Structure 1
Amino acid sequence: QAYIDEAKEKNLRMSGWNLFLQYAMANPLTYLGLAGYWSMNRTGSGTVLDLSKNGNTGTLKPSWPSDSPQYVVSKNKKMLNALDFDGLNDYVDCGTSQSLNFIDALTVECWFNIKDFSPTWQHFVGRVPTLQHIRIRYQLVIRMNNVWFYIGNGVTGVRVEASNLSPNRYYHVAGVYEKDVKHEIYLNGVLKGANYPPRRTLISGGSNSFRIGGVPYYLDGAVDEVRAYNRALSAAEILNLYNLFK
């Protein structure tokens, strides 16, 4: 905790990857298993770099720059910029790499800010088919003013959830899965829902893309600091990552 406080004090001009790297240098396990990291700070470009070095570059869709997610000021100086989605057709396609094809364990986490809860469903991070969300692999999704972390087995999905979100406010969310062990969701570093053991077993993602912000249910809001791991982060690790950027 002392290191986190020091990092926040000394690195107010740092953002995204730089701040995360400073923390990871002192806590190497934080970087272990990082499969994808999109900090949303590459303004003026139709792509979002994957800072994990796995090459999962995201493409702003459907047509950058006129019809695609837009860069906006994020929650604070440490996070710098975020991507804002219009709720109509905006999304980021990060491809179908095997590095994001988790089976035995995973963690997906990000910061998000929802402008309007009225759409029935709003997808914002995960690997899903374009039409049948019930067959999802793994997904963070907004359902009214709740955030759900879904795991799918190819036929049905099961969720854990955090409830009673407010619009126009940034939250940190993390979904954690470990085969035969746990299925969890954390909001602002606090465990909000869990199944021990999971009620579904994750299956291979096939040709489904990892997407941020949509398809088939589009997000009306902003997303920042998206990270995906091929392991289940601990409660302490999730709390540390929340504290690092809050």
Structure 2
Amino acid sequence: MKIKKTTLIPIIIAIVIVGGSLFLGDALASLGFFSTDSLNKGLVGHWPLDSAHLNSTTNRVDDISGYSNHGTNVGATLTTDRYGQSNAAMSFNGTSNYVDTGNGVSLQITDRITFSAWVKIKTYDSERFIVCKGSQNPALDYYSSRFAWTTNGGVSYLYSTTYPVADVWYHVVGTYDKDSGANNRKIFINGIQENQETVTGSMSTSGSLRIGSLGGGYFTKGSISDVRIYNRVLSAAEITRLYQSYKPKLSTGTLNQKLVLDMPLRPTSEKVGSNIVTNGGFDTDTSWTKDSNWTISGGVATANGSNSNSIYQPVGLQAGKTYRYSFNYVKSSGG
């Protein structure tokens, strides 16, 4: 890496390969990252509901929280997520599909909890449960034309002020702290607190956690993604950050066709990650500086030869900020 010391630092990212090939589409798509720091604290269940964490043979749905609350998929299928990423969410048919994650000890939470999920409802024609523990202890669902959050078996519901629209993705979060006094139950939509109330009592430890239904009914008709459960109450700032944290590795939207890499390296924080945009792809060698052993064609850059070779393209960064990058490559031959 060569850094020229000026007010606006041009950075040269040199990829050095001996006798290998760099496949930019898949390789650099893995560059997206963001900081999670406190968003992993107290996380006892995290189901991305994507192809990387679904075994289509055994129907196992992976929990990546570290607590091994793996689920069993009953009929739900993979679909696109809120950014149009294929196989990055799960679709539920509204009549029989759900994911059962069991009732592991780490899910038997009584006093403080946060439920979080992304959901896109296909039809808002009746009550439909998004994430439900046992007999609504607690549960996120859709009821009376709004999103609802309950922690006492449905004795009372806290409603969103948002009236959701069909086929639109929403980030829905419910929090409850038995011991925090007034306004201890809250609901957030798309990172914003919309309602709160005061309730009492502990939540039940019995009953399996299900995604997409309550017991044998009230099935979600639509798509669900990135379900999380915490054994603590996330702050309003953390919930906003959770809402903003996800960025797809490679957008499929038309505005990003031929876009090699999308990683905003905003000057406000080293943790933000995401939108470096290179000046061109590997469809042609325009704007790339390369040694003679490199060839660029058809979206692939290939280096052949026994000596080290470099290929680079300047990308503007700001002085005084910390940036990170990574890349993958495919080695086709050689020792």
Structure 1 length as normaliser, TM-score?
Answer: 0.79
| Contact 1:86-1:220 at 8 Å conserved across structures | yes
Structure 2 equivalent of residue 23 of structure 1:
35
How many residue pairs were aligned? 211
Match of 1:187 in 2: 189
Cα 1:77–1:169 shift into 2, 3 Å: closer
Gaps of 5+ in 2: 1-27, 248-335
Give the C-alpha shift of residue 144 in structure 1: 4.3
Matching residue's letter, 2:138: Y
- Could you tell me which runs of 5 or more consecutive residues in structure 1 were left unpaired when the two chains were aligned: 1-11, 62-67, 130-135
Q: 1:71 to 1:191 in 2, by over 3 A?
A: same
- Choose between structure 1 and 2: higher helix proportion: 1
Conservation of the 8 A alpha-carbon contact between 1:117 and 1:144: no
Equivalent residue letter for 1:50: D
Whole-angstrom CA distance in 2 between matches of 1:167 and 1:244: 24
Structure number, greater radius of gyration: 2
Give the alignment of 1:93-172 within 5 angstroms. 93-118=100-125, 120-129=126-135, 136-152=136-152, 157-162=155-160, 163-172=162-171
Q: Secondary structure at the match of 2:244?
A: helix
**Deviations for 1:77-104, whole angstroms, at most 9, x for unmatched residues?**
6796111000001100000111011111
Residues of 2 paired with 1:200 and 1:14: CA distance?
46
Richer in strand (by share): 1
Q: What CA distance in whole angstroms lies between the structure 2 residues aligned with 1:69 and 1:230?
A: 27
- Pair 1:55-2:68 in alignment: yes
Contact map agreement 2:176 2:186 (CA 8 A) in 1 = yes
Q: TM-score, length-normalised on structure 2? A: 0.59
Runs of 4+ in structure 1 deviating by more than 3 angstroms, as ranges, are 12-15, 77-80
Q: Which residue in 2 is equivalent to 1:178?
A: 177
1:176/1:14 CA distance change after superposition, 3 Å: farther
CA distance in 2, matches of 1:13, 1:128: 39
The alpha carbon displacement at 1:157 in A equals 2.2
Residues 147 and 159 of structure 2 are in contact (CA less than 8 Å); yes or no, is this contact kept in structure 1?
yes
Percentage of matched positions with identical amino acids: 29
Contact 1:38 1:50 in 2 (8 A): yes
Distance (Å, rounded) in 1 between the aligned partners of 2:84 and 2:64: 19
Amino acid at match of 1:53: G
